Structure 1
Amino acid sequence: MAILSSTSPIIGITSYVAHDINSFCSPAAYSKAVQRAGGIPILLPPMQLDVSAILERIDGVILTGGGDIEPECYGGVEHPTIYGTDRDRDTAELNLAHHLLKLDKPILGICRGLEILNVACGGSLITHIPDVFGETVLHRVERLTPSSHSVDIFPDTCLGGVLGQSSVQVVSWHHQAVSHAPEGWRVCAKAPDGLIEALEHETHPWAIALQWHPEMSPHDPLQQRIFTAFIQAAQGNH
């Protein structure tokens, strides 16, 4: 664990409502990954916030995973596999994404976070991956069970520079994905079945979005490099 200090960057981590216990929640793995990289994590509640005031006080944001985005947010259609929707969270995070993309503060999107950034920029989603790509690659074994598969990292991309590898093994836990890179973003990784696994912004100083879950590989130094690079970028904004 990195030693934290008053100069360590403060990282906002999006959270969700756990209705059964009336609480705001975020898996601890996100905060632990930020702390290992030398950042100070704080949770952002999924409600209408004074986004400008918050962003003045933090140095970077992680848009985390979670339930599906309401299809009406991106002109999609209902599907029996859609679960865990929360329109308040969708509205808050889309608003947050719009504000973030106008600033120089680093952004890391993870799973749902990639999808939020995609939708915020006018992109659409594949509603259920097996319907389009089949199951040659299992992006999720079951609804509550993650999977593992390889991802091909594109050369000459920011993500490729961070990882220093052309292929990595990842923890995957999603049944939806971006259909194509929206305006302003480039594809920087794909799964063996051709599914987009990562995007990075073409003009923002540091904005990377991953479909997989690097925080769920705490002992994989390659995955931790992503958080280290993110925190280093946030330190430059501190």
Structure 2
Amino acid sequence: MKFHPPLIGVTTSIQSKTNDYCLRHEYITAIRLAGGLPMLIPPGEPNLNSVLEWVDGILFSGGGDLDPATYNGVDHPEIYNVNRERDRFELSLAQFALETDIPILGICRGLEILVVASGGKLVSHLPDEFGEEIIHRQAQSRPAEHNVDILPGTHLANIIGVGETKVVSWHHQAASNIPRGWRLAATAADGVIEALEHEDHPWAFAIQWHPEISLNDARQQRIFRAFIHTAQQRQMMLSQKAS
């Protein structure tokens, strides 16, 4: 039996000025390098079940901020690029996907989507609550670098190892609590939640930093290899059941 590379659905942003759908190329490159076949999923797809029937894994990508109304939060001057159509679509897709066994990876905004979809809340602007000892982004358009601590005994530690690792960071918001069903997998030195993993879902990780930007960091790329490998194993299992 011949198997195709696992098809990975990747959510996209919407450019507010042009209404173009867009996605940074690093997501595509990281998926391809790990052996996956990327497929872009723009907001607004009406049939979520059809989306999940087509793909072997879902990646919730980064981008603009969620509308604070989605998590009963407070508006803040630093909140930017809010798109309510994208919020509605991704929150619904996340809730639906978490009820299945499809592999899920959330990156940056993707972590925030998974947190809010699971009933959690967000910090509106990190410097207001955590100070600036750790810089999580240089400016709205510029990433930063800092260390995160991967916690022992977690599935994430099994993938990339325990202890400190340098990451590319590009966010001003984060989870303010750990929602039901998730557990902490990594933190920054200032206490910001940097990674969560689901306790019940077969493979669901939420990463606040940007491993896709660290294309030359073998440790970071293990996240994508594990993601694609799990999607491939699921694809093979479903194919064997169908035959």
TM-score of the pair, normalised by structure 2: 0.94
Instruction: Find 1:90's aligned residue among 87, 90, 107.
Output: 87
Deviation at 1:22, TM superposition (A): 3.4
Determine if the alignment matches structure 1 residue 122 to structure 2 residue 119: yes
CA distance in structure 1 between the aligned counterparts of 2:124 and 2:20, rounded to whole angstroms:
28
Cα pair 2:60 2:107 within 8 Å, conserved? yes
Instruction: Find 1:236's aligned residue among 216, 223, 233.
Output: 233
CA distance in structure 2 between the aligned counterparts of 1:49 and 1:188, rounded to whole angstroms:
33
Determine if the alignment matches structure 1 residue 134 to structure 2 residue 134: no
CA distance in structure 1 between the aligned counterparts of 2:28 and 2:18, rounded to whole angstroms:
21
Q: What residue number does 1:61 align with? A: 58
CA distance in structure 2 between the aligned counterparts of 1:82 and 1:199, rounded to whole angstroms:
23
Deviation at 1:162, TM superposition (A): 0.2
Q: What residue number does 2:222 align with? A: 225
Cα pair 2:56 2:103 within 8 Å, conserved? yes
Helix, strand or coil: the match of 2:39?
Answer: strand
What letter is aligned with 2:117?
Answer: A
Q: What residue number does 1:70 align with? A: 67
CA distance in structure 2 between the aligned counterparts of 1:67 and 1:19, rounded to whole angstroms:
10
Instruction: Find 2:141's aligned residue among 113, 121, 144.
Output: 144
The sequence identity of aligned pairs, in percent, is 51
CA distance in structure 2 between the aligned counterparts of 1:230 and 1:174, rounded to whole angstroms:
23
Superposed CA RMSD: 1.0
TM-score of the pair, normalised by structure 1: 0.96
Deviation larger for 162-171 or 220-229: 162-171
- Total equivalences in the alignment: 234
Cα pair 2:16 2:81 within 8 Å, conserved? no
- 1:9-48, aligned counterparts within 5 Å? 9-48=6-45
Spell out structure 1 runs of 4+ moving beyond 3 A.
19-22
Helix, strand or coil: the match of 1:190?
Answer: strand
What letter is aligned with 2:192?
Answer: L
- 1:157-168, aligned counterparts within 5 Å? 157-168=154-165
CA distance in structure 1 between the aligned counterparts of 2:72 and 2:18, rounded to whole angstroms:
32
What letter is aligned with 1:203?
Answer: D
Helix, strand or coil: the match of 2:183?
Answer: strand
CA distance in structure 2 between the aligned counterparts of 1:16 and 1:142, rounded to whole angstroms:
19
Determine if the alignment matches structure 1 residue 180 to structure 2 residue 177: yes
Cα pair 2:12 2:42 within 8 Å, conserved? yes
CA distance in structure 2 between the aligned counterparts of 1:7 and 1:27, rounded to whole angstroms:
24
Q: What residue number does 1:203 align with? A: 200
Deviation larger for 162-171 or 131-140: 162-171
CA distance in structure 2 between the aligned counterparts of 1:49 and 1:15, rounded to whole angstroms:
15
What letter is aligned with 1:234?
Answer: A
CA distance in structure 2 between the aligned counterparts of 1:115 and 1:19, rounded to whole angstroms:
20
CA distance in structure 2 between the aligned counterparts of 1:90 and 1:22, rounded to whole angstroms:
15
Cα deviation code 1:88-141 (max 9, x no counterpart): 000000000011001101000000000000000110000000000000000011
Cα pair 2:120 2:178 within 8 Å, conserved? yes
What letter is aligned with 2:82?
Answer: T
CA distance in structure 2 between the aligned counterparts of 1:162 and 1:108, rounded to whole angstroms:
13
Deviation larger for 17-26 or 77-86: 17-26
Deviation at 1:6, TM superposition (A): 4.9
What letter is aligned with 1:144?
Answer: S
Deviation at 1:165, TM superposition (A): 3.2
Gaps of 5+ in 1: none
